Amino acid sequence: MSFRVCGRTGCVFHHMCYMVFTSCPQCAGEENWVDSRTIYVGHREPPPGAEAYIPQRYPDNRIVSSKYTFWNFIPKNLFEQFRRVANFYFLIIFLVQLIIDTPTSPVTSGLPLFFVITVTAIKQGYEDWLRHKADNAMNQCPVHFIQHGKLVRKQSRKLRVGDIVMVKEDETFPCDLIFLSSNRGDGTCHVTTASLDGESSHKTHYAVQDTKGFHTEEDIGGLHATIECEQPQPDLYKFVGRINVYSDLNDPVVRPLGSENLLLRGATLKNTEKIFGVAIYTGMETKMALNYQSKSQKRSAVEKSMNAFLIVYLCILISKALINTVLKYVWQSEPFRDEPWYNQKTESERQRNLFLRAFTDFLAFMVLFNYIIPVSMYVTVEMQKFLGSYFITWDEDMFDEETGEGPLVNTSDLNEELGQVEYIFTDKTGTLTENNMEFKECCIEGHVYVPHVICNGQVLPESSGIDMIDSSPSVNGREREELFFRALCLCHTVQVKDDDSVDGPRKSPDGGKSCVYISSSPDEVALVEGVQRLGFTYLRLKDNYMEVLNRENHVERFELLEILSFDSVRRRMSVIVKSATGEIYLFCKGADSSIFPRVIEGKVDQIRARVERNAVEGLRTLCVAYKRLIQEEYEGICKLLQAAKVALQDREKKLAEAYEQIEKDLILLGATAVEDRLQEKAADTIEALQKAGIKVWVLTGDKMETAAATCYACKLFRRNTQLLELTTKRIEEQSLHDVLFELSKTVLRHSGSLTRDNLSGLSADMQDYGLIIDGAALSLIMKPREDGSSSNYRELFLEICRSCSAVLCCRMAPLQKAQIVKLIKFSKEHPITLAVGDGANDVSMILEAHVGIGVIGKEGRQAARNSDYAIPKFKHLKKMLLVHGHFYYIRISELVQYFFYKNVCFIFPQFLYQFFCGFSQQTLYDTAYLTLYNISFTSLPILLYSLMEQHIGIDVLKRDPTLYRDVAKNALLRWRVFIYWTLLGLFDALVFFFGAYFMFENTTVTSNGQIFGNWTFGTLVFTVMVFTVTLKLALDTHYWTWINHFVIWGSLLFYVVFSLLWGGVIWPFLNYQRMYYVFIQMLSSGPAWLAIVLLVTISLLPDVLKKVLCRQLWPTATERVQRGVKHKAPVQATQSSDGPLLKDLLRRPRRS
């Protein structure tokens, strides 16, 4: 069917790109188009009088995945790095040191900042260089295209929109192409999109109907056509366009273009010798390039705590600077203190404004104390997250031998969040179940058919089907039965794959039964294979004819007229076919909720009863219906569909409206039941997660009975769980308000439920409740009421959910899944949420949750690509959370608290020192010590601790999931713990300073009569501090390996060796030699040795006593287990299945 397009010369409204299209005032009936583009195939102008030729400018086919160029790397990278608050803060401090006279050298701030900036820049520069290299390799690939009817070769980057390209078998498409023709007679080609969405199955794409006969370069070079399509969109599965094909003097033929005609860049041509296509999106406008864009940034609870602690320390820093500034002027208010005889001021200094002097002094004190803000903490945290993520990818327990897949880490920013999860939202099909469908039975007008029924242990020969209820159907029933089987053979999008070429001779009818079926939906394959065992075999689709082998071994041919594709909103699909006798049928299959309301005839009650029974047993059910169409009806349907298909704006909406009109007044034929088995250890995993205090919700599109049966099978619901229903059926009987209040009374009846901890999981001594809600009921709860009081319903719903041990949400649309996650995520407790799913319909909830996990399943890799982490099977979630998540959180929380602690120890003595030097901003430590404290002396031990620490064995963590509760709700980074670490740092600083002070007060002379000076005093304080903070970490370490020993004792040795060299040599590049011989002189004094040993011991004592007392009197579950493990198996303490000694990890190859 052709459509007349506007043919007035000069009517250019329809062909301007990047502009809003308005209707030509003299062309009635044309729609308003927004954001479309016109492509001239082969750059050929349309015939005279057809339309105005307006050449367009589009980007070339260059792919640019790199962030920087040679010229903008330094400014752009610096700009990005200084957007970080800590880096910017240290830059300001460094500039202040340069501008005003400060007590410390600019080197002390500049060198650590330079180190951090340089390391980050080198890392990012190297990564970008690799991207440049990959881009160049891709952009210089040779491509064949048609020019003046001849085949020409040029580089991929030189392709332009409108070029006609030839792609051969096993080649990758160089840009997004509209499929014009192939060497196959039926105008199809097979494509794999593994590099785009991970799906390795062959997908069939269809050439434009009017160009599929152009097989040679000359034919395709003479094509006269224009394509109108939408501007580039990142959605891989959506495309809207139309092609106008011009013949001699006739009106142009208009054909709709959809995703089935679009060949995407990155996909690979398979089982097809060659194809021709026209480039419509090139370079950075291809769908693959548009999908490079990163997802919204997620921030972990630890990062938020870290920023809060940083603000506290910034306030402490400002307070210290203010106190010292005020006290300085109080001190100098007395005569002669402002101008001692040895340091008289110049005239210009005397005349300086008091407020300006005070502000300058305030800045100088800020510089002096700025080391309390740990700039190196950010770099250490980044390194810890990046290197720590390899523990997941290296974990052989999480490698699936069956699929050959291992876990993937798409972002390392959320590692510690895996140890904080309070709610898990999981999909059912393909996540809890295997998504490996097996056809169990079908029910046709009350008669049940089970393929290959086993009788007395023998499979009945040639058993096409056994009626399990009553006698065989009547003649009319026999006709309906065969119609049902034909419907299953025809209503699908299954491809047939066998050893014979599609265009060559076919197998014999019997041989046809050995065909391999391929489909993006496992349900469809199961149904086609199931009906094959009942006597009807789908053979193939050729030249738009579907071939079916019936029970009499006769091949029936049906012309495929239309496919009304499946979508998750309609939950059904239809085909319109024409039989050899000329009868036109519409066959429709879908969920019972979407078929029953459209049925006007058939044994609805019997079939509904069987569907409900199968659903209770956990089987997936589909209903099948049909109607006969007369020629006039079919022509009306054609016009309706064509009008919707060629629309460029709101095409999906118009198609949905058309489908709604077509799929009605159906006759019910029967229903099918397919089994989807539970994944291995899914029940054990859910049980362990619930014991860990995590609430598990199942969000599925399945019907309630099927989903509830699965929930019982995977132990989400127990036999003693009282199920509460919040479903459409119940709301129809009572109002939503009454149902919610009734449920609320039920769950809150026991006062214990109110005081029970939200994370308590299952409890043996109180009633467990399980809630079932469906999508329609959720819509009513989320829908704002006229008086604007929807929040009341939401709060009531949340209160009910909190009191339930498990929740099942069925009949959920993808966006509703995300709504549920968002509702819990932003509830008043702000719990950490995790979403896990395997299909494209789970992407929205995966992106919404704090942590998104994709299961690398059979529904493609859309979920895995959009997730933060990907795992091969649901069972791997147990180790990922209970072991890896637990360890990540323990490690990073110690890292953060330790960094703040060691910086308090570092700077508080400097603060105290000002009281003894007249607030003159004199530094306590030498410049080298100030600079290297965080970079060298104390950095490696904590980094290694944060990578290797295992405070408890892996097997114990897997065996006892309740230990997960010890770290729940950010337990180790609460304010109470933070204050303890800060006070411990203050106590240690007081011990360092006053211990050294009192020792110097009584022993100021060495054995050779020399007097100790202020640099010796500062060096003694610094030495005690370095030993204390390093040994504090050693005391906190439970999991010792040779590398821990090497780094901890090596750091102390490095400090001693550095100090000996720094003070033992006169360095010519220094303009001062104040540290010469200081360290050696200090070590030559016996009292100094005594002071070091004594002060380190006193500093560590309170922490040791606190740990001993708390472990004895108020032990946590973890500490009790640690004590038990040490008593039982001290020998095994250094061995664990997480392994990982670093030498083992370095030897172990990473799985790609």
Compute the CA torsion angle 676, 681, 686, 687 (nearest 10 deg).
Answer: 130
- Under 8 Å CB-to-CB from 1095, ≥6 apart: which residues? 991, 992, 995, 996, 1024, 1028
Phi, psi of 448 (to 5 degrees): -100, 135
d(CA 597, CA 570): 12
Hey, is 1062 helix, strand or coil?
A: helix
CA-CA distance, 1144 to 582, in Å (whole number)?
71
Determine the pLDDT at residue 50: 60
Q: What pLDDT score was predicted for residue 305?
A: 85
Please give the structure tokens belonging to residue 652.
Answer: 């999906």
Strand 869-871, strand 851-855: pairing: parallel
Top mean pLDDT of 318-332, 409-423, 895-909, 1110-1124 is at 895-909
pLDDT digits (tens, 9 = 90+) for 758-794: 444 444 445 688 888 888 888 888 876 655 555 578 8
pLDDT of residue 785: 61
> Can you tell me the distance from the alpha carbon of 700 to that of 432, in angstroms, rounded to the nearest whole number?
11
Give the alpha-carbon dihedral of 748, 751, 757, 760, to 10 degrees. Answer: -80
Q: Mean pLDDT of all residues in the chain?
A: 79
Q: Are 770 and 715 in contact (CB under 8 A)?
A: no
Where is pLDDT greater, at 568 or 583? Answer: 583
Token pair in block for residue 619? 């089987």
Q: How many Å apart are CA 331 and CA 496, to the nearest integer?
A: 93
The percentage of residues in the chain with a pLDDT greater than 70, rounded to a whole number, is 82
CB burial of residue 293 (10 Å; 0-12, 13-18, 19+): exposed
What mean pLDDT do residues 862-883 have? 86
Question: What confidence score (pLDDT) does residue 883 get?
Answer: 92
Question: Which has more confidence, 467 or 596?
Answer: 596
Q: Is 665 left (phi over 0), alpha (psi -120 to 50) or beta?
A: left
More confident residue, 1048 or 1084: 1048
What is the CB neighbour count within 10 angstroms for residue 772? Answer: 24
pLDDT at 282: 92
Host H or E run for residue 274? strand 274-281
pLDDT at 1151 over 60: no
Antiparallel, parallel or unpaired: β 458-459 and 241-245: unpaired
Three-state secondary-structure class, residue 32: coil
Q: Which range among 25-39, 285-299, 730-744, 789-803 shows the weakest confidence by mean pLDDT?
A: 25-39
What are the counts of helices (DSSP H) followed by strands (DSSP E) for the chain? Answer: 40, 36
Kindly report the backbone phi and psi dihedral angles of residue 694, in degrees, each rounded to the nearest multiple of 5, phi listed first.
-95, 130
CA-nearest of 957, 929, 895, 1129 to 1024 is: 929
User: CA-CA distance, 1053 to 1036, in Å (whole number)?
Assistant: 20
pLDDT in tens, 1000-1029: 776 555 555 566 777 888 888 999 999 999
What is the C-alpha to C-alpha distance for residues 257 and 248, in angstroms, rounded to an integer? 23
What's the confidence (pLDDT) of residue 428?
82
Q: Give the model's pLDDT for residue 281.
A: 93
CA atoms within 13 A on the CB side of 824: 27
User: 1097: which 2 tokens?
Assistant: 């011991």
pLDDT of residue 1101: 92
Tokens representing residue 1086 in the block = 């016996």
Mind telling me the catalytic residues? 427
CA pair distance 517, 503, nearest whole angstrom: 18
The per-residue pLDDT for 1091 is: 84
Residue among 684, 501, 668 nearest 572 (CA): 668
Contact 1018, 924 (CB under 8 A): yes
Higher pLDDT, 48 or 763: 48
Check: CB of residue 337 under 8 Å from CB of residue 918: yes
Q: Is 648 exposed, middle or buried (0-12, 13-18, 19+ CB in 10 A)?
A: buried
Instruction: Find the mean pLDDT for residues 818-847.
Output: 86
Pinpoint the alpha helices (H) of 790-938.
790-802, 814-825, 843-848, 862-866, 876-879, 886-913, 927-932
Asked whether the predicted pLDDT for residue 424 surpasses 90, the reply is yes
Point out the least confidently predicted range of 506-510, 666-670, 748-752, 1065-1069: 506-510
pLDDT tens-digit map of 203-224: 788 888 888 888 888 888 888 8
Of 82-91, 164-173, 509-518, 1021-1030, least confident by mean pLDDT is: 509-518
Does the pLDDT of residue 3 top 50, yes or no? no
* Predicted pLDDT of residue 983: 93
Task: Quote the pLDDT of residue 645.
Answer: 81
Confidence of residue 2 (pLDDT cuts 50, 70, 90): very low
Give 253-262 pLDDT, tens digit per residue: 888 898 889 9
